[in-house]
Amino acid sequence: MNGRAPLQARQVRTGTSACSSTKLGRTLRKKVILMESYSFPAITYEEIDESRQFIIDVRSPEEYKEFHLPGSISLPLFSNEERKLIGTIYKQESRAKAKKTGMEIYARKLPAFYDEWTSLLKQHKGKTPVVTCARGGMRSGAFVGTMLSMKMPVRQLKGGMRAVRQHVLSRLDSFSALTWKTIVLGGLTGTGKTAWLRQLKEQGYPVLDLEGLADHRGSVFGHIGLTPKTQKQFEFELVQELQQCAAKNHTFIIEAESKRIGRITVPPFIISAKEHGSFIEIRDRMDRRIRHLMADYQPFTYQNDIRMALNKIWRRLPDQIKPSAEEALETGNYERLFELLLQHYYDRRYTHKQNGYVNRQEVRTVELAPLDDESILPAIEHEIDRLL
């Protein structure tokens, strides 16, 4: 796809209509029978131009949630339950009965789909819908075939989302063969590394924000207030970012992440590039670190999530701080709770991890403690510019 900013992905709900006796419903079965052997107008993922086409994804909501094209419109042919039912019939009874069940469900929904198609064409005037399913098979074929019979402009995505996934894996393999110049931004928890990286990106620096792509901050508290991505979605969006970094002299600025961010596994070549990169350590005073954590985790909004995350690491905390940590949690003194966790848990873990995976012989240090908020970004930029 081209480099234009993707539209916001959205989902469309289509209810089951009782109008299966309409003309649309009566003629559908005859049309679907022909679809397996009929070749529809198709387009590859690489050929999609967002200025000329828009994507309709007809997979189930569950499939769409796991992995979808940004900007695509979810218009599921089958609900999660209907897809499971058809799959069960296919495995336990026969392919023919599964197909018939699918056609019956589609027929009942067809009038509502027709309304949605006409509405989408009006909303995207001048653009052609490209319909995708998992493999570019019967589900997208049902939509495309019916829309074509009604003289609607439409294309089928060749190979469906499986082809998109293969494209992603191929691009990751290509990127892994490149030699990357890497600048690693490290620092204790709460020093605002991710926030500074995002501001650097706004200034045009080649930033690879892995936590932003994963929608996870990396720690046991990292999911709080966020909706973590799946591995497939992460890798799709990672490819888009790497493409931009490759265009900037194969350079990226990255946070000192571990191999895993929540449930996401970072590709080995990125970890290797990080380990051989130039390292900038940022240091800040405790009060500002706590302020960053309060802003990021919003503990008064997510009190139960904070408690559940704390329970997961409770046995690893030093016994001498547990009474104070418990009191801070119960009284809502989150500044004190975060201070205890930083001093007695996260700072110690960070020091151990850094000695393990970063070549620290040439470390540049940026002392943020004496700086006001407005002076921090220029100070970090100055060190980065010396390395670029």
Q: What integer pLDDT is reported at residue 20 of this predicted model?
A: 42
Tokens of residue 57, six digits: 């994804």
Distance CA 76, CA 15 (A): 10
Q: Are strands 278-283 and 363-367 parallel, antiparallel or unpaired?
A: parallel
Q: What integer pLDDT is reported at residue 34 of this predicted model?
A: 47
How many Cα atoms are found within 13 Å in the side-chain-facing hemisphere of 38? 17
CB-neighbour burial class of residue 234 (10 A; exposed 0-12, middle 13-18, buried 19+)? buried
- As a whole number of Å, the end-to-end CA separation of the chain is 29
Which amino acid type is present at position 365? Answer: T
Distance CA 342, CA 109 (A): 55
Give the H or E element holding residue 252. strand 251-255
Query: Which residue ranges in the chain fall short of pLDDT 70?
Result: 1-38, 351-361
The strands making up 278-283's β-sheet, listed across from edge to edge, are: 207-208, 251-255, 181-187, 278-283, 363-367
From 13, 32, 131, 31, select the one nearest 76 (Cα to Cα): 13
- List, for residues 90-115, the tens digit of each pLDDT value: 999 999 999 999 999 999 999 999 99
Distance CA 384, CA 253 (A): 9
Give the H or E element holding residue 187. strand 181-187
**Strand, helix or coil for residue 42:** strand
**Strand, helix or coil for residue 176:** helix
Distance CA 274, CA 283 (A): 19
Distance CA 22, CA 368 (A): 70
Q: What integer pLDDT is reported at residue 363 of this predicted model?
A: 85
Q: What integer pLDDT is reported at residue 33 of this predicted model?
A: 46
Cα 253 → chain centroid:
19
Q: What integer pLDDT is reported at residue 250 of this predicted model?
A: 96
Tokens of residue 158, six digits: 């060749």
Distance CA 325, CA 310 (A): 10
Q: What integer pLDDT is reported at residue 75 of this predicted model?
A: 97
Q: What integer pLDDT is reported at residue 3 of this predicted model?
A: 42
Tokens of residue 74, six digits: 């979810």
Q: How far is CA 237 from CA 70, 151, 244, 355, in A?
A: 9, 35, 11, 30
